[in-house]
Amino acid sequence: MSMTTIPLAGRELDSQCPYCSVQCKLRLTPEPASGGEPGEPFRYRAQGAPNAASQGRACVKGLNAHQHAFSSERLLQPLIRREGRLEPCGWDEALDAVAELWRSRIAAGDPDSIGFYGGGSLTNESAYWLGKFARIGVGTRHIDYNGRFCMSAAASAGVRAFGLDRGLTFRLSDIPEAKCILLAGTNVAECQPTLMPYFNEAKENGAYLIVVDPRRTKTAEAADLHLQLRPGTDALLAVLLLRLVLDEGLEDRAFIEARTEGFDEARRQAEALDPAEAAARCGVPLEDARSAARAYASAETAILCTARGVEQQTDGHEAVRQLLNLVLATGQIGRPGCGYGAITGQGNGQGGREHGQKADQLPGYRSIEDPADRAHAAAVWGVPPDSIPGKGVSAFDMMRLVHEGRIRALLVMGSNPVVSNPHAGFVEEALGRLDQLVVADLFLTETARMAHVVLPVASYLENEGTLTNLEGRVLLREASMPPPGEAWADWAVLNALAERLDRQERFRCGSAEAIFEELRRASRGGAADYAGISYERLRKEGGVYWPCPSEEEDGQGLLFADGFARPGGRAQFAARTEAGTGAVDETDGGYPLLLTNGRVLAHYLTGAQTRRSPALASRELESFLELHPRTAAALGIEEGEWVSVVSRQGEFAARGRLNAGIREDTVFAPMHWGGRQNVNRATRPELDPVCRMPGFKTTAVRVRPLRGGGA
Ligand SMILES: Nc1nc2c(c(=O)[nH]1)N[C@H]1C(S)=C(S)[C@@H](COP(=O)(O)OP(=O)(O)OC[C@H]3O[C@@H](n4cnc5c(=O)[nH]c(N)nc54)[C@H](O)[C@@H]3O)O[C@H]1N2
Ligand SMILES: Nc1nc2c(c(=O)[nH]1)N[C@H]1C(S)=C(S)[C@@H](COP(=O)(O)OP(=O)(O)OC[C@H]3O[C@@H](n4cnc5c(=O)[nH]c(N)nc54)[C@H](O)[C@@H]3O)O[C@H]1N2
Ligand code: SF4
Ligand SMILES: [Mo]
């Protein structure tokens, strides 16, 4: 495979960070590389550029992101497996091979044996195109995406409680107006660092900050009150907080009366709780819980946010709903300075879940099971409604179908599932059974290495398209340069495949903007309505919030000021009946500790990109296991030594890192490494019954030193 230096443009580039959901705008300035030898490529220095979300800030990941785009490891040509080895080939050969197998499955009447697995890094245009391609290019019901592991619990909870799922129900600019902020299972300081100044400003204005996290994170360090709960007990803690609010009569009667339904059941459940026992089970002092309840309910304005700590649980849906009960009972939503926010994860984690990559969804956040919604999509696509397949299954459920041999071919576009799925050993085994695995990526990732066909695609610097940030603000990212080598835009790959399936008439759009124009029509009238947004407008205004039904309107920043998106405009309280599996993997003598996991500042997700950016990779070279010094002492583990972490599913290795800021019954590892350091070799396959989110954040494990090299 040719690995030539990518020609650099040698001029200033305006771009947008490819990583987290803030979507900071960036400006890259070329500088001669050291010595400025003739012919030597430029180096780029990145700075944050003005934009409403990050206000011109950028974090270390964004500032070094271009290093991966310029990496010598970029894939520049398609690869095909011949006699067990991946070898370079031309696009025609690669695409013909993919389409030939698909055609035979379709001809055999089994398009459902072809699966599609998308991602939240894809632009809205590519995500929309992928959903459409799966449904009416191939005709399979089997499509889902990595956002299932990310946003699904908050999404399902938001839809049921409010009738709408948008990451933040408020504007970022509301944060400084909040007098109390409760951050549950979200480590903003490391995961959305450029948002921290909003929280700091709130604190300067006198806000009381509560952080709920089993670890003393950088975010927790900024808190007035840190509830250091036992992992997996957020649902119980939320009911406890509601109970303590009710005990002091701090609920907002008028709001409950006028704007909600189902409160009585929520109240009965909270009143049935024994507060002392609940606090003990959560591992939180009752008095601290009381302080939190008081501060949140009695503040004039308050914001409550969750992220993956609460959501990536087998009762993630339930846990979010119980926290939403607290929001509704105290009326802390729908006013400036108030609201609920699920802090979205990936760059396009928000838009990626609105336009049809999800198994049960059509563009515009429409439902694939609703006849009117199907008719709308069918009309835009020019197909009969009954030609659109029904609902498929969730990402991990798809892996189960792969393992069972019911899905025989899989296209992965924008994900590295071998590292990011729970129970990675099972997933690797499953993918190994496929007749054909196709991976479209920038790099030969852990997953791409297993593929039969690898397709090189454009990076953020080369790929024009829109992305929707955590506030629901749609942003246009312009392409700065052509893709290197023979890499293509994701949507262009799908067009070429459609041609080979004789479906080209439905996939004629030849630019991101043309696809966006179709997306506008497909989303018109849906919950995530983009009809009023155009590239021209985005260029002029810098960004537009959805819903935005017409070009004459501004989008909506603050949601639910006048009513909720449910029939009758009322929000719905949850009673504790929807889940019931319990979040926590049972610990016992064999597996006495709870493993949780997450992120560090310098790396992003499976590390596919950040491990290939030298400035980022050098900050954290390898994985670690954070454990309390007393826990470490009891296990005979010393700072810096390699340890083995064993669960009922599997084992991984990491370097021990002692930290008195973590609970003694809990250990933590980041998720950014593959191979033997992959934390997901240990995580378990159980899913939330409502949203099918895996219980990533709680796995029972035992830990021991790896001294002497023994496995
Ligand atoms: N640096 C960096 N930033 C990122 C990413 C990245 O990989 N690296 N990824 C992006 C993506 S896709 C996402 S989804 C977001 C994720 O953003 P976050 O959800 O904030 O990140 P995590 O580190 O997964 O988890 C947050 C916190 O949850 C805590 N936690 C663990 N178990 C529990 C529990 O049971 N209850 C509670 N209340 N807390 C618990 C962890 O200790 C951790 O501090 O970040 C985005 N930003
Ligand atoms: N244990 C544990 N596991 C987790 C989590 C956790 O907290 N703990 N978090 C979960 C969460 S929140 C998430 S979001 C998932 C993420 O899991 P993954 O989706 O596997 O994560 P990434 O590393 O972002 O993988 C994206 C891949 O797409 C490639 N890529 C980037 N941009 C593009 C593009 O424009 N087009 C194409 N075709 N490819 C592109 C990258 O090179 C990379 O290989 O992991 C989940 N897994
Ligand atoms: S990782 Fe997030 S906070 Fe950092 S520069 Fe990128 S978009 Fe901004
Ligand atoms: Mo995520």
Q: What is the pLDDT of residues 273-329, one digit of tens each?
A: 999 999 999 999 999 999 999 999 999 999 999 999 999 999 999 999 999 999 999
> Is 580's pLDDT higher than 70?
no
Task: Give pLDDT tens digits for 524-550.
Answer: 999 999 999 999 999 999 999 999 999
User: ∠ at Cα 190 (127, 17), nearest 5°?
Assistant: 40
Task: Give pLDDT tens digits for 385-413.
Answer: 999 999 999 999 999 999 999 999 999 99
What's the CA gap between 652 and 359, in Å, rounded?
31
For the CA of 232, the nearest atom of ligand 1: 35
Confidence category of residue 582, pLDDT binned at 50, 70, 90: low
Q: Is 444 in the pocket of ligand 1 (CB under 6 A)?
A: no
Q: Is 231 in the pocket of ligand 1 (CB under 6 A)?
A: yes
Distances (CA, A) of 581 to 84, 232, 319: 43, 11, 12
The sign of the dihedral angle between the CA atoms of 161, 365, 19, 611 is positive
What pLDDT does residue 172 have? 96
> Is 219's pLDDT higher than 80?
yes
Task: Give pLDDT tens digits for 642-652.
Answer: 999 999 999 99
Q: Is 310 in the pocket of ligand 1 (CB under 6 A)?
A: yes
What pLDDT does residue 585 have? 82
Task: Give pLDDT tens digits for 348-389.
Answer: 999 999 999 999 999 999 999 999 999 999 999 999 999 999
What's the CA gap between 377 and 78, in Å, rounded?
33
For residue 440 the two structure tokens come to: 């479209």
The sign of the dihedral angle between the CA atoms of 353, 355, 359, 362 is positive
Average pLDDT over residues 320-342: 98
Q: Which string of DSSP letters, residue by residue, matches 42-92? A: EEEEEEE---TTTTT---HHHHHTHHHHT-TT---S-EEEETTEEEE--HH
What's the CA gap between 119 and 414, in Å, rounded?
5
- Three-class secondary structure assignment of 539-584: HHHCCEECCCCCCCCCCCCCCCCCCCCCHHHCEECCCCCCCCCCCC
Average pLDDT over residues 623-648: 98
Q: Which string of DSSP letters, residue by residue, matches 494-506? A: HHHHHHHTT-GGG
Q: Which residue is associated with the tokens 């454990």?
A: 627
Residue 209's nearest CA partner among 335, 324, 305 is: 305
> Is 3's pLDDT higher than 90?
no
Q: How many CB atoms lie within 10 A of CB 271?
A: 12
For residue 249 the two structure tokens come to: 């009569």
What pLDDT does residue 10 have? 66
Q: How many CB atoms lie within 10 A of CB 630?
A: 11
What's the CA gap between 361 and 265, in Å, rounded?
31
Rg (CA), the chain: 24
Mean pLDDT across the chain: 95
Q: Is 20 in the pocket of ligand 3 (CB under 6 A)?
A: yes
What pLDDT does residue 709 have? 54
User: CB–CB of 68/613 below 8 Å?
Assistant: yes
DSSP 358: S
**What percent of the chain is predicted at pLDDT more than 90?**
93
User: In 3-state terms, what secondary structure has residue 121?
Assistant: coil
What pLDDT does residue 33 have? 67
> Is 710's pLDDT higher than 60?
no
- Cis bond upstream, residue 193 (ω within 30): no
DSSP 652: E
What pLDDT does residue 8 have? 52
The model carries a pTM of 0.96
Domain residue spans of the chain: 3-69, 79-148+348-545, 152-343, 593-705
What pLDDT does residue 32 have? 73
Confidence category of residue 578, pLDDT binned at 50, 70, 90: very low
Domain 593-705 indexed as CATH 2.40.40.20: yes
Q: Is 420 in the pocket of ligand 3 (CB under 6 A)?
A: no
Residue 411's nearest CA partner among 147, 612, 138, 675 is: 138
Q: Which residue puts its alpha carbon closest to atom 39 of ligand 2?
A: 414
Domain 79-148+348-545 indexed as CATH 3.40.50.2000: no
Q: Which residue puts its alpha carbon closest to atom 2 of ligand 3?
A: 20
What pLDDT does residue 579 have? 43
What's the CA gap between 580 and 575, in Å, rounded?
11
Q: Please, which residues bridge with residue 79 across strands?
A: 88, 454
Interhelix angle 234-247/316-330, rounded to 10 degrees, is 20
Distances (CA, A) of 154 to 347, 567, 578: 17, 20, 14
Of 124, 314, 420, best ligand 2 pocket probe by most atoms within 8 Å of the beta carbon: 420
What pLDDT does residue 196 have? 98
What pLDDT does residue 711 have? 45
Please provide residue 64's backbone torsions phi and psi, each rounded to the nearest 5 degrees. Answer: -115, 10
Q: Which residues surround ligand 4, an ion (CB under 5 A)?
A: 150, 345
Average pLDDT over residues 582-607: 93
C-alpha of residue 604 to centroid of ligand 1, in Å? 11
What pLDDT does residue 306 have? 98
Please provide residue 552's backbone torsions phi and psi, each rounded to the nearest 5 degrees. Answer: -80, -15
Confidence category of residue 626, pLDDT binned at 50, 70, 90: very high
Residue 214's nearest CA partner among 581, 588, 598 is: 598
Strands 571-572 and 42-48: unpaired
What pLDDT does residue 7 have? 47
Helix (H), strand (E) at residue 647: strand 642-647
Q: How many CB atoms lie within 10 A of CB 159?
A: 17
Q: Is 308 in the pocket of ligand 2 (CB under 6 A)?
A: yes
Q: Is 135 in the pocket of ligand 1 (CB under 6 A)?
A: no
Fold for the domain defined by 152-343: Dimethylsulfoxide Reductase; domain 2 (3.40.228)
Distances (CA, A) of 330 to 185, 245, 273: 21, 8, 19
Q: Which residue is associated with the tokens 């271009």?
A: 66
Nearest ligand, CA 465 = 2
What's the CA gap between 447 and 437, in Å, rounded?
9
What pLDDT does residue 4 have? 36
User: CB–CB of 643/703 below 8 Å?
Assistant: yes
Q: Which residue is associated with the tokens 């760059």?
A: 347
Using CB atoms within 10 Å of the CB of residue 432, give its burial: 0 to 12 exposed, 13 to 18 middle, 19+ buried: exposed
What pLDDT does residue 555 have? 85
3-69: CATH class: mainly beta
What pLDDT does residue 584 have? 77
What pLDDT does residue 43 have? 82
User: In 3-state terms, what secondary structure has residue 93?
Assistant: helix
Q: Is 185 in the pocket of ligand 1 (CB under 6 A)?
A: yes
Distances (CA, A) of 392 to 112, 139, 384, 395: 9, 11, 19, 10
Residue 447's nearest CA partner among 427, 433, 467 is: 427
What's the CA gap between 127 and 608, in Å, rounded?
20
Q: E-assigned strands of 325-479?
A: 339-342, 361-362, 366-367, 409-413, 436-441, 453-456, 465-468, 473-477
Confidence category of residue 6, pLDDT binned at 50, 70, 90: very low
What pLDDT does residue 707 have? 86
Nearest ligand, CA 310 = 1
Average pLDDT over residues 643-670: 98
Task: Give pLDDT tens digits for 455-487.
Answer: 999 999 999 999 999 999 999 999 999 999 999
